[in-house]
Amino acid sequence: MAQFSRRDFIKGGLLASTAVGAGLSFPNVLRAQDTVKIGILHSLSGTMAISEVSLRDTVLMAVEEINAKGGVMGKKIAPVVVDPASNWDLFAEKAKQLLLQDKVAVVFGCWTSVSRKSVLPVFENNNGLLFYPVQYEGEECSKNVFYTGATPNQQLIPGAEYLMSKEGGGFKKFYLLGTDYVFPRTANKILRAFLVAKGVPADNIAEEYTPFNHQDYQTIVGKIKRFSSGGNACVLSTINGDSNVPFYKEFANQGLRSENAPIMAYSVAEDELRGMDTSALVGHLAAWNYFQSVETANNKKFVQAFKAYAKKANLPGGDKRVTDDPMEAAYFGVYIWKQAVEKAKSFEVDAVRKAVYGQTFAAPSGTIKMHEYNHHTYRPVLIGEILKDGQFKIISRTKGLVEPEPWSKYTSPDKGCDWVKHQGTYQKKA
């Protein structure tokens, strides 16, 4: 702080207070020429608030960091925070408001696929720019969206591959279990195609879905138990949110153990584990691109900065807050945008978009890179084991970065995504 001039300091303070004001979805008051507005479109109420509030906090922290260092091209960032309240229609409405009324340069937001699908036409029709930070099912290639989370081949497939490998236990039977909505359904379609391509007979793959908020896993765990008798069986779980606790509890209580039948989770991260009794989850696995336990200098800084920020901003949980994969993706998304703006020397969406291609950033998980033409992100893939304190022990890590494939080569081998040589999704020549 010492090298800042007094004026910078006052400005920073003003902006921080704006950020807090905006956090209460109060319209931004700074309209001076030396600011640039960005939108934050995360649910702050309703069912998704548990997950999405952390993303808003992370983005606001990144904004504060950037502003403290002088902003973007000499302009301070003024965040406009809106609350779409976990309501998919409201997402589109709020996105429209951000783009047309507030005229923001970029939007950071969305979590669920259905919310992203709902805002997609708004961004495409008004030529907006959205940074989407969550791992998703792929099969999308929008000109106006940058996907900083994982594509199926950066999370789903490596998780299954790990369990098939010798190191992971050489499992041969797979129980695909998910909550009944678009992500698990598509994810399991891809996983099934992958497993079949790897020579797993159809009899050794089971697939099952449960409704949202499902609490009674007796029957399903009973089925898994029978499925796993004879050994070599594992569970690939895309169960979302709340339902995980009763599932893992029932799993442990019926005598299934992670040594004999491990669960590889694709939707359980540190932030979700905060509200859980983790004793039944210990030893099970998760596949992500980032864990709080990543041992890099950048990550230590990131984790500390977030805890300090949470404490300073009086966020619930204070310095007991944790970081996880979507938060990291949301965090470096802001920096990628900043670098792209500086490279393009403009806030114009089209110029910025082209400047994003190939951009690299020293993220907490290591240096990541934006793809040269498909709007997704090169990221490392990590497999972690759940520990008692709700953290993950990293047990496997890819050597370098994994190239993102929005169209899985197992389900859509003929499709590609390219915004440089093609217009988005195109048919590959046979």
Partner 1 sequence: MISRLAVLLSLVVWLAAGAAGHAAAAPAPSPEVTAALTDLTDEDAEKREAAVNVLGTTRDPKWIQFLGALRDGSVYARTRAGKLELVVGGSKATKGDQDVIDIAGAYEREPLGTVPLSELKEVPADRRLRLAIKPFLDADETQAQLADPDPNVRRGAAIKLGNQAAAGTAPVVEAALKKESDRWAHHALAEALALIKLANGTGDERADAANTLGGLHSESAVPALQRLAADGGATPAERAAATYAIRRIERWGLLTRTVETLFQGASLGSILLLMALGLAVVFGLMGVINMAHGELMALGAYATFVVQNWFRATWPSYFDSYFLVALPVSFLVAAAVGLVLERGVIRFLYGRPLETLLLTWGASLIIQQGLRLWFGAANVDVSSPSWLSGGATVMVGLTLPYNRIFIIGLATVAVAAMYWLLFRTNAGLRIRAVTQNRAMSSCLGVRAGVVDATTFAFGAGLAGLAGCALTQIGNVGPSLGQNYIVDSFMVVVTGGVGKLAGTILASAGLGGLTKGIEPALGAVFGKVAILIGVILFLQRRPAGLFATRGRNAEA
Q: What is the binding site for partner 1 (CB under 8 A)?
A: 47, 49-50, 53, 180, 208-211, 213-216, 218-220, 222-223, 225-226, 229-232, 242, 245-246, 249-250, 252-255, 257, 259-260, 274-280, 295, 316-317
Q: What is the DSSP string of 117-165?
A: HHHHHHHHHTT--EEE-S--------TTEEE-S--HHHHHHHHHHHHHS
Count of C-beta atoms within a 10 Å radius of residue 206: 18
Cβ neighbours for 423, distance < 8 A, ≥ 6 positions apart: none
- Cα dist from 156 to 91, 152, 162, 187, 378, whole Å: 27, 5, 10, 7, 15
Q: Which is nearer to partner 1, 275 or 413 (CB)?
A: 275
Q: Which is nearer to partner 1, 295 or 423 (CB)?
A: 295
Q: Which is nearer to partner 1, 250 or 325 (CB)?
A: 250
Give me the least distance between CB of 97 and partner 1, in Å please: 24
CB 319 within 8 A of CB 308: yes
Count of C-beta atoms within a 10 Å radius of residue 7: 8
Q: Which is nearer to partner 1, 122 or 303 (CB)?
A: 303
Give me the least distance between CB of 49 and partner 1, in Å please: 6
Q: Which is nearer to partner 1, 102 or 208 (CB)?
A: 208
Cβ neighbours for 226, distance < 8 A, ≥ 6 positions apart: none
Q: Which is nearer to partner 1, 283 or 358 (CB)?
A: 283
Q: Which is nearer to partner 1, 17 or 279 (CB)?
A: 279
Q: Which is nearer to partner 1, 27 or 211 (CB)?
A: 211
Q: How far apart are CA 144 and CA 130, in angstroms?
A: 6
Q: How far apart are CA 41 and CA 52, in angstroms?
A: 9
CB 67 within 8 A of CB 136: no
Give me the least distance between CB of 215 and partner 1, in Å please: 5
Give me the least distance between CB of 226 and partner 1, in Å please: 7
Give me the least distance between CB of 40 and partner 1, in Å please: 18
Give me the least distance between CB of 317 and partner 1, in Å please: 7
Give me the least distance between CB of 253 and partner 1, in Å please: 3
Phi, psi (deg, nearest 5) at residue 422: -125, 180
Give me the least distance between CB of 386 and partner 1, in Å please: 13
Q: What is the DSSP string of 238-272?
A: E--GGGHHHHHHHHHHTT--TTTS-EEESS--HHH
Q: Which is nearer to partner 1, 211 or 413 (CB)?
A: 211
Give me the least distance between CB of 300 and partner 1, in Å please: 15
Write the single-letter amino acid at 339: Q
What is residue 86's three-state secondary structure? coil
Give me the least distance between CB of 222 and partner 1, in Å please: 6
DSSP-derived secondary structure letter, 99: I
Copy the structure tokens of residue 85: 């309240």
Expressed in percent and rounded to 5, the helix, strand and coil fractions of the chain are 40, 20, 40
Output Rg (C-alpha) for the chain, integer angstroms: 22
Q: Which is nearer to partner 1, 106 or 280 (CB)?
A: 280
